[in-house]
Amino acid sequence: MDTNNSHKKITKVTEGASENVQSRTFVPTDEAKAKANRLRLIAIISWVVAIVAQLFAISLLFKEPINMTWLIVLIVVDLIFVVIGSVLWKKSNRLDPASEKDKFKFFMQNQLGLVVAIIAFLPLIIFIFTNKNMDGKQKGIVGGIAVVALLIAGVTGIDFNPPSIEQYTEQTNRVEWLNQGANNVYWTKSGTVYHLFSDCSYINTAKTSEIFEGTVAQSRELKNITNLCSRCENKAMKERNLDESDYNTKPELTD
């Protein structure tokens, strides 16, 4: 591991996700689990507020005349809290990921934001378009806003690259194999990959003012980085005379 990089500020990340080094299988630390649980609690509260806002919006549909302003305000409130909940929930999953072994649980934990988005908007949309107290123009305006809100909330709730214990395990093992047993990587605020060397030309540029140093799991938590720099990988293999055939990319996981 090369840290001879005196002209760049290197910030060591000391908090957040980290694995139990006593096992080849990724295990989040107690600190990471506790933080994940706090984020999930706040996410659930946010989602409850969103659903309550939807219920108030639905109740307005049964009153004459319908207050369009308040109806739109409640849809916006619904959207804001659904998005907040989804963002926090996805962050919690990067701290404490699910296992791919249970496909249903893995899907629900990682895509719960999408499920909640549907629950928080679809009933309201149905009530709007079937409401007899609204004319076509009102349905078009409010219904259109609700549909757009559902789409925004749904896209926000989807995790297009969901984390898993198996993924973390494989990525960490790969870095340790290349890095002489050290789970230590570098990344930047705007980076999309993590690096084994702080002096890598991809990370050490004139535009870079600060380089972060931490574990594979911490780079995932803070920046959602999932890939290793190919240049660093090739450099490590060449310098340390590593043979790809010696690396088992699919370590046997233990419960």
Domain ranges of the chain: 9-24+164-246, 30-157
Count of C-beta atoms within a 10 Å radius of residue 98: 18
Q: Are 143 and 153 in contact (CB under 8 A)?
A: no
Answer yes or no: is pLDDT of 255 > 80: no
Of 132, 154, 129, nearest to 143 (Cα)? 129
Q: Residue 48 contacts by C-beta under 8 Å, 6 or more apart in sequence?
A: none
What gap in Å lies between CA 59 and CA 149, rounded to an integer? 19
pLDDT tens digits, one per residue of 126-147: 999 999 989 999 999 999 999 9
Answer yes or no: is pLDDT of 246 > 80: no
Look at 31-45, 50-64, 150-164, 207-221 and tell me which has the smallest mean pLDDT: 207-221
Q: Residue 125 contacts by C-beta under 8 Å, 6 or more apart in sequence?
A: 143, 146, 147, 150
Q: How confident is the model at residue 64 (pLDDT cuts 50, 70, 90)?
A: confident
Stated as kind and residue range, the H or E segment containing 121 is helix 103-129
Looking at residue 21, its pLDDT comes to 40
| Average pLDDT taken over every residue of the chain | 88
- Hey, what's the torsion of the CAs at 192, 43, 72, 134, to 10 degrees? 120
- β partners of residue 210: 9
- β partners of residue 84: none
What gap in Å lies between CA 57 and CA 1, rounded to an integer? 57
Stated as kind and residue range, the H or E segment containing 9 is strand 9-12
Answer yes or no: is pLDDT of 243 > 90: no
Answer yes or no: is pLDDT of 234 > 90: yes
- Beta strands 210-214; 185-187: pairing state: antiparallel
Answer yes or no: is pLDDT of 164 > 60: yes
Answer yes or no: is pLDDT of 4 > 80: no
> Measured between alpha carbons, how far is residue 7 from residues 3, 185, 186, 229 in Å?
11, 18, 15, 21
pLDDT tens digits, one per residue of 189-221: 888 899 999 999 888 887 888 899 999 999 988
Of 253, 36, 38, nearest to 165 (Cα)? 253
Looking at residue 42, its pLDDT comes to 98
